[in-house]
């Protein structure tokens, strides 16, 4: 049904318009008393064999929603009710910003991919903190923070620290995003000599503001050279980070079947074409850091077999986004059910037994 709806209706409407309409519907679900909990009872993962323990938290399953969908923390409970084991909001910046000019979001259906150059459009960390304040729902919420575009690279640490102070008290875990291709100079911060002081400052600010240890992760790009992936893994272990998210979108365009004008759009590519490199980076991180880091795998996740492959490769958590765009609102539930069947047909009693 969704495939038919997508072909006849959704694909004919600009991608960002569809996104805004979807967010309005999700916000309505979240504001109607009792509706999100009802959907959660119907759609959320309940198989105890899928449960995962990470960051001192009990995740109902490894599959979560990647950052980028709920940028402003307006619908995380509704999204959690649709079957995601956790929801990562953001990317949130220190100051509000409109993002890049439209159009800035493009579907590539032949490749089951999306190109975006949104540019961290969001209402800023103060607004997100206010929405998250006092949250009491069942959804595990990660908070992804990035650099405000107008802030010079030399002042990036101050900008990240401001967001960390505001948001850490309300985050189940915090992610430092230094890997989006859509903010000029941002990926330069992935270099270890820049990343070390940034992560150290964010760690100190987050824990102080929250009055507790806030799990801290860094999100890296698939376009890093293998040696740089190793260096980030070593740094994360050295600094005592809790984990690494691999990977963000790619600036590569190899092997695309979509129309050249679509493939040539600038921005980050997500979806199926990212799958192989995402798994490569995951395996490299696992080989380098072992179980000293919680690894979160993102990029090209479409099916339960994709989730299973990431878990076997060492991921504790797996995230999707583009898979839901092409799979529809019940995508997460379908993947969870298929994953439970996949697990029952294996030699493992639980998904955690299969990790690595």
In this prediction, residues 74-97 reach a mean pLDDT of 97
Strands (E), the chain: 52-54, 57-59, 63-65, 87-93, 105-108, 113-116, 141-146, 173-177, 216-220, 243-246, 268-271, 294-298, 317-320
Q: Is residue 100 annotated as involved in ligand binding?
A: no
- Among 5-14, 100-109, 300-309, 327-336, the minimum mean pLDDT is found in 5-14
Q: How confident is the model at residue 117 (pLDDT cuts 50, 70, 90)?
A: very high
Q: Is residue 83 annotated as involved in ligand binding?
A: no
| 3, pLDDT greater than 90 | no
Strands (E), 288-339: 294-298, 317-320
Catalytically active residues are: 180
d(C-alpha 268, C-alpha 113), whole Å: 10
Q: Is residue 247 annotated as involved in ligand binding?
A: yes
Cα–Cα distance list, 172 to 196, 201, 252 (Å): 22, 19, 32
Is the N-terminal amide bond of 247 cis, ω within 30° of 0? yes
Which domains are delineated in the chain?
2-354 (3.20.20.70)
Q: Is residue 219 annotated as involved in ligand binding?
A: yes
Alpha-carbon Rg for the chain in angstroms: 19
| 2, pLDDT greater than 90 | no
Summarised one tens digit per residue, pLDDT across range 27-85 is: 999 999 999 999 999 999 999 999 999 999 999 999 999 999 999 999 999 999 999 99
Q: How far is CA 135 from the centre of its chain?
A: 20
What is the pLDDT, as a whole number, of residue 211? 98
- Say if residues 185 and 153 touch (Cβ distance below 8 Å): yes
How confident is the prediction for the chain on average, in pLDDT? 96
Summarised one tens digit per residue, pLDDT across range 127-164 is: 999 999 988 889 999 999 999 999 999 999 999 999 99
d(C-alpha 180, C-alpha 248), whole Å: 7
- Say if residues 103 and 144 touch (Cβ distance below 8 Å): no
């Amino acid at each position: 049904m969704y495939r038919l709806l997508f072909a006849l209706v959704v694909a004919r409407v600009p991608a960002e318009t569809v996104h805004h309409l979807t967010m309005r519907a999700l916000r309505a679900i979240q504001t109607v008393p009792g509706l999100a909990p009802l959907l959660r009872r119907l759609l959320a993962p309940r198989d105890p064999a899928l449960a995962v323990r990470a960051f001192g938290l009990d995740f109902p399953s490894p599959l979560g929603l990647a950052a980028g969908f709920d940028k402003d923390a307006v619908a995380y409970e509704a999204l959690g009710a649709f079957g995601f084991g956790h929801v990562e909001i953001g990317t949130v910046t220190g100051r509000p910003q409109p993002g890049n000019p439209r159009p800035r979001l493009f579907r590539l259906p032949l490749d089951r991919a999306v190109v975006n150059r949104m540019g961290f459009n969001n209402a800023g960390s103060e607004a997100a903190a206010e929405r998250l304040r006092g949250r009491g729902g069942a959804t595990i919420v990660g908070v992804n923070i990035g650099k405000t575009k107008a802030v010079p690279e030399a002042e990036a640490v101050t900008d990240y620290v401001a967001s960390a102070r505001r948001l850490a008290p309300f985050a189940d875990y915090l992610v430092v995003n230094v890997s989006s291709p859509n903010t000029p100079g941002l990926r330069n911060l992935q270099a270890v000599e820049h990343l070390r002081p940034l992560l150290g400052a964010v760690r100190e600010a987050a824990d102080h503001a929250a009055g507790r240890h806030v799990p801290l992760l860094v999100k890296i790009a698939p376009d890093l050279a293998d040696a740089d992936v190793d260096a980030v893994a070593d740094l994360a272990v050295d600094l005592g980070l809790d984990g690494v998210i691999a990977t963000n979108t790619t600036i590569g365009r190899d092997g695309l079947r979509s129309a050249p004008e679509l493939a040539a759009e600038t921005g980050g590519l997500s979806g199926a074409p990212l799958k192989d490199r995402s798994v490569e980076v995951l395996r490299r991180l696992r080989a380098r850091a072992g179980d000293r880091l919680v690894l979160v795998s993102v990029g090209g996740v479409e099916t339960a077999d994709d989730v299973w492959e990431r878990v076997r490769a060492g991921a504790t958590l797996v995230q999707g986004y583009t898979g839901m765009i092409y799979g529809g609102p019940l995508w997460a539930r379908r993947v969870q059910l298929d994953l439970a069947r996949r697990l029952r047909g294996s030699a493992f009693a639980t998904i955690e037994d299969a990790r690595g």
